[in-house]
Amino acid sequence: MNPKETLPQAVAEIKRLLQEKAKSTFALAKKLYQVKRMYVWKHTSYGSWTNFCEKEVDLSPSYIWRLITSAGYVEKYSYTEEECTEILNAMSYPSFEFGLSSIKRRISIKSFIKIYRGQYANKGYAAASRDPNFVFYRFALPLELSKTFEAVLKNYGLVVLETGHRNHLQSSIQKFLENVLPE
């Protein structure tokens, strides 16, 4: 496959899906996941996946990452498009996304819907109902603020990989908060 011939087609498809975002979040997630994995980004006119997203995908970097991650889980657990459609007909996308990130192995569609319908990470008390000692947060920060925050968190164990993955994020934020908040 020649990236110069197919990348413009992929861009057009992503833009179409962005316009229909409300009804095709899963389709957008799949497309972004496929396009991210399809190209060696440093050999494209964009130079990197980040540059591609900044120029072509009108979504926050954290939301793009969430979409790609959920599509990756679908692939990891071998859910078919039909199974995903069945799940999404029974629950919201945030609940679907939360369920995918919570399971450790593939579970049946019926069980997935029963366990995760109505639960999602942005609704801390629903996610926390699984463990009352924790409240879950999922949020995005402006780019400049995130760069500053990451620089501080590196002192607390955060590791930012070249791919953009952040290792030890939760523990570094927890250590940071324990250090700066009054007891």
- Looking at residue 113, its pLDDT comes to 92
Same domain, 70 and 103: no
Identify whether 85 is part of a domain: no
User: Of 50, 7, 28, which is closest to residue 163 (Cα–Cα)?
Assistant: 50
Identify whether 110 is part of a domain: yes
Work out how many domains the chain is built from and give that number.
Answer: 3
Identify whether 83 is part of a domain: no
Same domain, 1 and 66: yes
21 pLDDT more than 70 = no
Residue with tokens 């995918």: 100
Identify whether 116 is part of a domain: yes
Q: pLDDT tens digits, residue range 82-137?
A: 899 889 888 888 889 889 988 999 999 999 999 988 876 544 444 434 455 566 67
77 pLDDT more than 60 = yes
Same domain, 162 and 112: no
Q: Which domain holds residue 155?
A: 143-180
- Looking at residue 133, its pLDDT comes to 59
The model carries a pTM of 0.59
- Looking at residue 126, its pLDDT comes to 43
Torsion of CA 144, 145, 149, 150, to 10 degrees: -30
The span from the CA of 155 to the CA of 92, in Å, is 38
